[in-house]
Amino acid sequence: MKKRILALGLALLMLVGILAGCNKDGGSGKYVGADECGEYELVTIDGFDHQFKKYTNMTTENITLRYFNFDSDVVTQELAKIFMKIYPNIKVETTFEAVDTYNTTLGTLINNGETPDVVMTSDADYALSNRIFLDIAKYWGTDDETPLLASTINSAKIGCYGLEGHRYAVPMKFFPTAVAVDRNVLKKLSIAIPDQNWKWADMINIIKAGKQPKSLDGMEYYGLFAYTRLDSLYGIAAGGDIIGEFGFDGKDFDLSAWAVGEQEYGDLRVSGYVAPDRDTLANEEWLGDPANWSGLSGHVAIFTEPFWTYQNIWLAETEDGVTQMEANNLDIVPYVIPSASNTDEGLHNTIATMDFGGVSSATKYPREAYELLKFMTFGIDGWYARISLYNDESIVTASGTPLRTDNMPAPLTTDQGVWNAYIDMFCKGMDDEHKEHWTDFFASCMQPIPYGWVSIAGYHTACDEYFNKIGIHGIVDAGTGQAADYVDEATRKFNYYHAEAMINYFGPSGYNVLSEAEIAEYTEMKNANA
Amino acid sequence: MEETKKLTRKDKKELKERMKHLKSGKLEKRDARVGYIFMIPWFIGAAAFLAYPLINSFWYALNEIKITPMGRDFAFSGIKNFTNILLQDPDFLVELVDYLTSTILSVPIIVVFALIIAMMLNMKIKGKGFFRVIFFLPVIIVSGPILGQLTAEGAGSISAIDMNSITSAISSVLPSMLAEPISDLFNNMITTLWYSGVQILIFLSGLQKIDKSMYEAAKIDGGSGWECFWKITLPNLKSMILLNVVYTVVFISNNDQNPIIGLIEDSMFSGAPGRGYGYAAAMAWLYTVVVILLVGLFALLLMTRKDAYEKQVKRAKRAIKKEARTRKKIERRNVRNAKRIEHQRAQGKITSRTTSREDY
């Protein structure tokens, strides 16, 4: 009898457990989210002078939001804690996944029905073909902070994939591309220091003048070390109505402008103006070790290094308490990518590294997920929180370094308060002249254009299946072919892949948001370029 | 004495029918039941983790699939995925040819190396156990990501070898289709040899099973070590060689370093139109067929090779059969001749006098 009672008790316990599991989100009934951003109240959080917005039309239920990313893990976790203080009923679970395995893990989660609520993405094609993102146009359109973003985000419809009235992705991280000039090298070689309004031709002249085969220290000087190829820079700086890589104007590609930059870069390489790549025999002959990096050599005039190189390496402290720049006698300052047009004055579009993400199409709480996405990425409040984290040197990465050195992005908002705080944090320890230089640089890079694979449908596939397969960069760099010879074919191919992707992603078998006229237009484009 | 009767075909059929209706005993039934019970876990495992995924992946291959957060979208596309892979995919066939060439080249090297090392480890040497561990260690340590990292760091090649000279020498003699995989093989020599840990163990177990008295007998008859290897060791390891070849082909084919595996994975998570799980499944099926054919080819090559002793036995048997046939033929001819003589005698064509030598 006792055994029977025990068995019944256990069965009852299991049943209760199963039923409790069915209600793990703690929701009571169907949740209907708000259709707009709406009103907010200001809340104060301990340790912050800044007051944070708390939107009033957010759910009051206890919910959990999952945030899947390849951002800096510590920063993301700390930001999530602050968000949870603003909205105590929302629990945020952040998951970091390395870029290499990002799509695989995300695909597995989606396949298992465990799609996170907010998702970062490594390429647009994967996200769009699997309809990962929700259309968040209604929140974006009613958000008073989105008009404050860098102008091209809205004017070039970045994240809208050319569609009017829809928005699927937002820029999550922004790394402006700077042309880094080592003023000490220019001084040593008696080359005039350029001003911030320099032009493309000025940069090329400096690169050419920077090549000095013989020097007093017996080591060769080079004009350029290119992490980012010059054709990527030129392709956008060429101006006109280009709002994407390879001459993309929002509808079509035209690679003629790209070909000019590609050829120019190829010619510079062939003529020996470009420093050897790492892990090559030429680099070993030049720097004594193939693995040595020319960025610390003090023998290169211009670099096209990523934005994070400054904080991660050049401005990072050595064991002696000085920066790498001071230790290696460098004076590297950022310049905006020069415009290719001599008549172009003021701001112009520049290529920038931007990571994108969005709200998952499977989320139960789109309004709340949008707010989380905004806080963690482009929102003003989120940036105040971020800057305070970067300023707090007691918070360090897993490797024990300050958060600033962990690929720190720049704000995408134009809010002056955020920028003042950011520049103060970024330029800590710099003299006034350098700080002013950086301030000018930041002001001049606010018309960013992202790389094609995150912002143009079909671009990643076209590169994968055509451009990189042929190896055009290698051919032009080796001087065995001319960039101009590929312009017509590449333009046709990229237009074909783009049209096919647009139909596939946004047509009836995808999001189904294209009108019949648009489908006909893309079909015609696809057939014309087949 | 009871006369034994040879069963005719009809008798055999009747006996078979009768056996069918015979009821088995209780003990036999219980034994059978226990046997089935022991087999059930395997059947469940095979059905859940082999048959179901196989059928499922084949169904995937016939569809265009999108994995969306709202669920999986299946659009039946028939054999479209297969035709696209074979006719339009710029990578698959190229990688497949590379895979076939490199596998055909590296399998013999791995197996021969494993055999040599196994024979050395089977000798009477000090620290035999230690050396066995050394050769098996890569199997445990160098797997998956670690192997990838070591290869990326250049640990997979012998640094003392001047690869540029080897590549240019090979390229000057062979067409690029062959020169490339051969120079790749030299470039990844260490990695290739790391793959032989399991094969060494298999050969070792085979070597230890060979009867030592055979070697002693051979030595008494004046057989050299070289002759012993070809006449005793190798014929006795024949089945192990086949096993190792099959194992090596399967290992190379499923290895993380194999570019086709990477290609399938990339297709699975590609956002390109027409790609995805369905396309990757079709690619995996095509690849599986090729691997099976390759295993079959190796098996065919190694299984048809009979050893000298078997050949001689077969030849002797054939000779005996031939001799028996000839004897029967002669007997039949003698009977025929006797009948003919008898008939002629009856007709009086020949006298009863026995022919003598003088008649000729």
What CATH code is carried by the domain that includes residue A123? 3.40.190.10
| pLDDT at A18 > cutoff 50 | no
Helices (H) and strands (E) in chain A, counts: 23, 12
Nearest to B70 among A362, A460, A469 (CB): A362
Q: Is residue A95 part of a domain?
A: yes
Tell me how far apart the alpha carbons of residues B276 and B272 are, in angstroms, rounded to a whole number. Answer: 8
Report the sign of the C-alpha dihedral through residues B10, B11, B16, B18, in that order. Answer: positive
Whether residue B354 has pLDDT greater than 60? no
Q: Per residue in A33-54, is it b (16+ CB within 10 Å) or e — as a string?
A: bbeebeebeeeeeeeeebebbe
The mean-pLDDT minimum among A257-261, A411-415, B193-197 falls in: B193-197
Nearest CB to A104 within list B68, B75, B269: B269
Interface test with A, best of B266, B270, B277 (most A CBs within 10 A): B270
Q: In DSSP terms, which residues pair with B278 in a beta bridge? A: none
Could you tell me how far CA A448 lies from the centroid of its own chain? 10
CB A284 within 8 A of CB A217: no
In this predicted structure, the answer to whether residue A122 has a pLDDT above a threshold of 90 is no
* Spatial CA neighbour of B113 closest among B245, B209, B238, B294: B245
Measured between beta carbons, the chain B residues lying within 8 angstroms of A113 are: 71
Backbone angles phi, psi at A448, to 5 degrees: -80, 145
Task: Please say if the pLDDT value at position A450 is more than 90.
Answer: yes
pLDDT in tens, B333-345: 999 999 988 888 8
Per the CB < 8 Å rule, is A126 touching B67?
Answer: no
Interface test mutation site (partner B, options A66, A103, A121, A364, max chain B beta carbons within 10 A):
A103
Residues of B with CB below 8 A from A460's CB?
271-272
Q: How far apart are CA B201 and CA B198, in angstroms?
A: 5
Backbone angles phi, psi at B313, to 5 degrees: -60, -45
Which has the closest alpha carbon to A408: A383, A380, A430? A383
Chain A residues whose beta carbon lies within 8 Å of the beta carbon of residue B72: 111
Q: Decide if pLDDT at A494 tops 90.
A: yes
Q: B271 and A361: CB-CB below 8 Å?
A: no
Best residue of B67, B84, B275 to probe chain A, by most A CBs closer than 10 Å: B67
Q: Say whether B75 sits in a helix, a strand or coil.
A: strand
Residue A110 to residue B271, Cβ atoms within 8 A? no
The verdict on ipTM greater than 0.85 is no
Q: Residue with structure tokens 């086949």?
A: B242
DSSP class of residue A306 equals: -
Kindly report the CA angle at A191 between A189 and A194, in degrees rounded to 5? 145
Cα–Cα distance, A505 to A131 (Å, whole number): 8
Minimal CA separation from B21 to chain A, in Å: 47
Residue B268: list chain A partners with CB under 8 A: 107
Of B90, B265, B269, which is closest to A465 when you measure between CB atoms? Answer: B90
Percent of chain A whose predicted confidence (pLDDT) is above 90: 72
Query: Nearest Cβ partner of B69 from A110, A124, A465?
Result: A110
Residues B263-282 have a mean pLDDT of 89
| Å between A116 CA and nearest CA of chain B | 9
Give the one of A107, A123, A465 whose C-beta lies nearest to B67's C-beta. Answer: A107
Range of the domain at A101: 40-174+353-391
Beta strands A332-336 and A448-450 are unpaired
CB A103 within 8 A of CB A132: no
How far is residue A174's CA from residue A414's CA, in Å, rounded to a whole number? Answer: 13
Residues of A in contact with B269 (CB under 8 A): 103-104, 107, 126
> How far are the Cα atoms of A84, A188, A489, B98, B297 from residue B104, in angstroms, in the given order?
59, 59, 38, 10, 10
Which of A104, A131, A464 comes nearest B68 by C-beta?
A131
Instruction: Say if residue A487's pLDDT is above 90.
Output: yes
Residue in B with minimal Cα distance to A102:
B269
Res B296: pLDDT: 93
User: Does residue B165 surpass a pLDDT of 90?
Assistant: no
Inter-chain Cβ pairs, chain A and chain B, closer than 8 A:
63
Closest chain A C-alpha to B164 CA, distance in angstroms: 13
Percent of chain B with pLDDT over 70: 90
pLDDT of residue A144: 92
DSSP letters of A51-78?
A: EEEEETTS--S-EEEEEEE-S-HHHHHH
* pLDDT, position B279: 95
Q: Tokens 């897993």 appear where?
A: A398
Domain map (residue ranges) of chain B: 80-313
CA distance A372 to A382: 9
H or E element at residue B212: helix B212-220
Q: How many domains does chain A have?
A: 1
Q: Are B246 and B198 in contact (CB under 8 A)?
A: no
Residue ranges of chain A whose CB lies within 8 Å of a chain B CB: 103-104, 107, 110-111, 113, 115, 123-132, 360-362, 460-461, 464-465, 469, 500-501, 504, 509
Q: How far apart are CA A140 and CA A341, in angstroms?
A: 34
Round to whole Å and give the CA distance between A76 and A355.
14
pLDDT the model gives residue B314: 87
Q: In the predicted model, what is the mean pLDDT of chain A?
A: 89
- 8 Å CB contact of A130 and B273: no
The verdict on a CB contact (< 8 Å) between B269 and A127 is no
Task: Report CA torsion sign: B227, B232, B233, B238.
Answer: positive
pLDDT tops 90 at residue B158: no
Helix, strand and coil percent figures for chain B, each rounded to 5? 75, 5, 20
- Residue A115: its chain B contacts at CB < 8 A? 69
3-state secondary structure of A179: strand
Averaged pLDDT, A351-370: 94
Query: Which residue in chain B has the smallest CA separation from A121?
Result: B271
pLDDT of amino acid B330 = 93
The reported pLDDT for the residue numbered B143 is 66
The answer to whether B270 contacts A504, with C-beta atoms less than 8 Å apart, is no
Structure-token pair, residue B200: 């060494």
Tell me the backbone φ, ψ of residue A379, rounded to 5 degrees.
Answer: -70, 150
pLDDT on residue B14: 84
* A110 interaction partners in chain B (CB closer than 8 Å): 67-69
Nearest to A237 by CA among A197, A193, A199: A199
Kindly determine whether residue B271 and residue A360, on different chains, have CB atoms separated by under 8 Å. Answer: no
Beta bridge partner(s), residue A69 = A96
Round to whole Å and give the CA distance between B310 and A149.
Answer: 85
- CA B58 to each of CA A390, A440, B44, B53: distance values in angstroms, whole numbers, following the listed order: 52, 60, 20, 8
Question: What CATH code is assigned to B80-313?
Answer: 1.10.3720.10
| Candidates B68, B91, B261, partner chain A, best to mutate (most A CBs within 10 A) | B68
Give the separation between CA B122 and CA B132, rounded to whole angstroms. Answer: 10
Residue A298 counted as domain residue: no
Which H helix or E strand runs over B288? helix B277-303
- Distances from the Cα of A402 to the Cαs of A82, A291, A438, A525, in angstroms? 19, 25, 21, 50
Distance to chain B for A499, nearest Cα, Å: 11
Min CA distance, B70 vs chain A (Å)?
6
Is the pTM higher than 0.80? The answer reads no
Contacts of B75 in chain A (CB under 8 A): 509
Locate B305 and state its tokens. Answer: 């090779």
**In the predicted structure, residue B176 carries a pLDDT above the cut 80:** no
* Cβ neighbours, 10 Å, residue A100: 10
Residue A244 inside a domain? The answer is no
Q: Return the beta strands (E) in A97-197 as ranges.
A: 118-121, 170-176, 178-182
From the list B69, B269, B270, which residue is nearest A115 (CB)? B69
pLDDT over 70, % of chain A: 93
pLDDT band for position A19 (50/70/90)?
very low
| Higher pLDDT pick, A172 / B193 | A172
Q: What is the mean pLDDT of residues A423-428?
A: 94
The verdict on a CB contact (< 8 Å) between A360 and B90 is no
pLDDT at A377 over 50: yes
Model confidence over B34-71: pLDDT tens digits? 999 999 999 999 999 999 999 999 999 999 998 888 88
Nearest CB neighbour to B271, from listed A128, A361, A362: A128
**Residue B305 pLDDT level (bands cut at 50, 70, 90):** low
Q: Any residues with CB less than 8 A from the CB of B193 and at least 6 apart, and which?
A: B110, B113
* Per-residue model confidence as pLDDT tens digits over B211-235: 999 999 999 999 898 999 998 999 8
CB-based contacts of B279, cutoff 8 Å, min separation 6: B64, B81, B84, B85, B267, B268, B270
Cβ–Cβ < 8 Å for B261, B254 = yes
Position A382 confidence tier, pLDDT thresholds 50, 70, 90: very high
Q: Does A26 score more than 80 pLDDT?
A: no
Handedness of CA A158, A161, A163, A169 (dihedral sign): negative
Q: A131 and B69: CB-CB below 8 Å? A: yes
- CA–CA separation, B60 vs B74, rounded Å? 8
A128 inside domain: yes
The per-residue b/e assignment along A483-515, b for 16 or more CB within 10 angstroms, e otherwise, is: beebbeebbbbbbbbbbbbbbbbbbeebbebbe
Residues in chain B closer than 8 A to A465 (CB atoms):
90, 272
Contact B69 A132 (CB under 8 A): yes
Q: What is the DSSP string of A354-423?
A: EEEEEEBTT-S-HHHHHHHHHHHTT-HHHHHHHHHHHH-TTSB-TTS-BGGGTT-----B--HHHHHHHH
pLDDT in tens, A133-175: 999 999 999 999 999 999 999 999 999 999 999 999 999 999 9
Tokens of A58: 């957010």
Given B67, B90, B273, which is nearest A110 (Cβ)? B67
Would you say residue A415 has pLDDT above 80? yes
Helix (H/G/I), strand (E/B), else coil: B87: helix
Longest dimension (CA), chain A: 100
Asked if B69 and A126 come within 8 Å (Cβ–Cβ), the reply is no
As a whole-number percent, the residues of chain B with pLDDT over 90 amount to 42
- Give contacts of B162 with chain A, Cβ < 8 Å: none
- The DSSP element (H or E) to which A4 belongs, if any, is helix A2-22
Nearest to A130 among B67, B75, B265 (CB): B67
Q: For A394-411, what is each residue's pLDDT tens digit? A: 999 888 889 998 899 999
Contacts of B66 in chain A (CB under 8 A): 129-131
The shortest CB-CB distance from B271 to any of A113, A361, A461 is to: A461
Range with the lowest mean pLDDT among A358-367, A427-436, B8-17?
A: B8-17
d(CA A133, CA B303): 56
pLDDT tens digits, one per residue of B15-36: 888 777 777 778 888 888 899 9
Which 3 state secondary structure label does DSSP give A140? Answer: helix
Question: In this model, does residue A256 exceed pLDDT 70?
Answer: yes
Question: Taking residues B119-138, what's their average pLDDT?
Answer: 85
B273 to A464: CB separation less than 8 angstroms, yes or no: no
Question: Which residue numbers of B have CB closer than 8 Å to A's CBs?
Answer: 66-72, 75, 90, 265, 268-273, 275-276
